[in-house]
């Protein structure tokens, strides 16, 4: 009975219909702002544009959409640019125009002043680019007939980043993949996953001989790929500073952690209800739960800052050791693990005609210190 459940992209690959859930998450405040559900067959780029129009009623300034290379493609970037949607995404370094931007800054990117202030292992340079986009018109409108190609130009801020430490890691990864594929080909394997087939097409020469298969390497292609190892490129039509863009892109990991929490801890993988109205209520309760989850995460971060500071107050050696143990415990456990730990702690209030009593199930000194710093009575 879920009318939004339709055949669309399904990461689990189980063939079931899907319902698309979109959550707007503030990277700065680290809190969910709004949510929306849409039919599962709507492409991501259209879902984003539709949701942003809905947010106009909240009076919010247009947010910047942060996407990884799973979302990046010329078609998606063209759609967002044409709709004037602010975006930041990781571009594919194999694209010709992206490599042109890398080559343009290859000499200057290693300068000391281009080092990232919060990660000195990365250098970055921003380049402005007037990028040409094109689309095939689906309908006749204005000066364009249906089927004609419309071209337009938008200004982009291309942030070329270089991390020297990543180059040997990428080289090792490619070697392991190519030698593994080479062995499979020589053993007679004929079908490969799309990613493996792409490596075969780009870097291997496969010849059928009387004794079986002879595999050799395309050394020129490998040497060309080496020139771009360690580089990655962020593209935005809004963020100008390369280090601000890098910080915003890294913050997307918090959003991915939030969705993992939604799916696992809040049982967000299945509708669990028959009707769309009930599903809206269930999703609203989960959305409120995400808000509490993010609030508690920030409170724990505040506690960790307090524990990490060298207090001027006189404390006993036992108190200092207890604080160190609590800080180490918080660093080693996620919020879900912390909540699971305290799930067995119960507060009981017993009342009767003659007397009343209250008690809490047993907690350790470390647990008591943690609850005290959180402000829990």
pLDDT in tens, 278-302: 999 999 999 999 898 888 888 888 8
pLDDT tier for residue 265 given thresholds of 50, 70 and 90: confident
Task: Give whichever of 24-33, 172-181, 189-198, 317-326 has the largest mean pLDDT.
Answer: 172-181
pLDDT tier for residue 257 given thresholds of 50, 70 and 90: confident
Residue entry with tokens 């949607």:
85
The predicted pLDDT at position 310 comes to 67
Q: How far is CA 69 from CA 43, 77, 92, 234, 281, in A?
A: 16, 11, 7, 10, 33
Q: The pTM is what?
A: 0.74
The predicted pLDDT at position 354 comes to 67
- Higher-confidence position of 56 and 161: 161
pLDDT in tens, 184-226: 988 888 888 888 898 999 999 988 887 788 889 999 999 999 9
The predicted pLDDT at position 153 comes to 92
- Could you tell me which residues come within 8 angstroms of residue 366 by beta carbon, excluding any fewer than 6 positions away? 322, 325, 326, 329
The predicted pLDDT at position 54 comes to 78
Domain boundaries, the chain: 19-160+229-288, 168-226, 316-374
The predicted pLDDT at position 345 comes to 78
The predicted pLDDT at position 208 comes to 84
In the chain, % of residues over pLDDT 90: 30
The predicted pLDDT at position 24 comes to 83
pLDDT tier for residue 342 given thresholds of 50, 70 and 90: confident
Alpha-carbon distance 326 to 314, whole Å? 19
Length of the chain, in residues: 377
The predicted pLDDT at position 355 comes to 67
The predicted pLDDT at position 186 comes to 87
Q: Are 40 and 4 in contact (CB under 8 A)?
A: yes
């Amino acid at each position: 009975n879920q009318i939004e459940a339709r055949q669309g992209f399904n990461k689990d690959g189980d063939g079931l219909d899907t319902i698309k859930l979109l959550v707007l998450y503030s990277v700065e405040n680290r809190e969910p702002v709004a949510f929306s559900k849409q039919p599962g067959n709507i492409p991501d780029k259209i879902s984003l544009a539709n949701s942003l129009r809905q947010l106009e009623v909240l009076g919010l300034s247009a947010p910047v959409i942060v996407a990884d290379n799973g979302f990046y493609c010329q078609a998606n970037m063209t759609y967002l640019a044409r709709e004037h949607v602010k975006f930041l995404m990781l571009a594919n370094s194999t694209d010709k125009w992206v490599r042109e931007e890398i080559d343009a800054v290859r000499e200057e990117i290693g300068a000391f002043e281009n080092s990232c202030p919060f990660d000195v292992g990365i250098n970055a340079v921003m380049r402005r680019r007037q990028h040409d986009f094109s689309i095939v018109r689906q309908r006749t409108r204005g000066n364009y007939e249906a089927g004609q190609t419309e071209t337009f130009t938008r200004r982009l801020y291309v942030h070329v980043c270089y991390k020297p430490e990543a180059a040997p890691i990428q080289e090792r990864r490619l070697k392991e993949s190519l030698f593994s594929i080479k062995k499979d080909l020589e053993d007679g394997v004929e079908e490969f996953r799309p990613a493996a087939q792409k490596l075969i097409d780009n870097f291997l020469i496969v010849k059928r001989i009387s004794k079986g298969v002879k595999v050799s390497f395309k050394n020129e292609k490998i040497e060309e790929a080496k020139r771009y190892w360690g580089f990655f490129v962020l593209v935005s039509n809004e963020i100008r500073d390369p280090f601000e863009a890098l910080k915003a892109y890294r913050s997307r990991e918090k959003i991915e952690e939030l969705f993992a929490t939604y799916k696992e801890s809040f049982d967000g993988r299945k509708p669990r209800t028959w009707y769309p109205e009930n599903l809206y209520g269930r999703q609203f309760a989960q959305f409120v739960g995400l808000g509490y989850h993010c609030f508690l995460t920030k409170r724990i971060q505040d506690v960790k800052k307090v524990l990490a500071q060298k207090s001027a107050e006189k404390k006993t050696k036992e108190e200092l050791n207890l604080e160190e143990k609590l800080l180490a415990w918080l660093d080693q456990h996620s919020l879900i693990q912390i909540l699971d730990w305290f799930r067995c702690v119960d507060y009981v209030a017993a009342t009767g005609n003659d007397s009343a009593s209250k008690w809490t199930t047993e907690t350790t000194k470390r647990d008591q210190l943690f609850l005290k710093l959180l402000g829990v009575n």
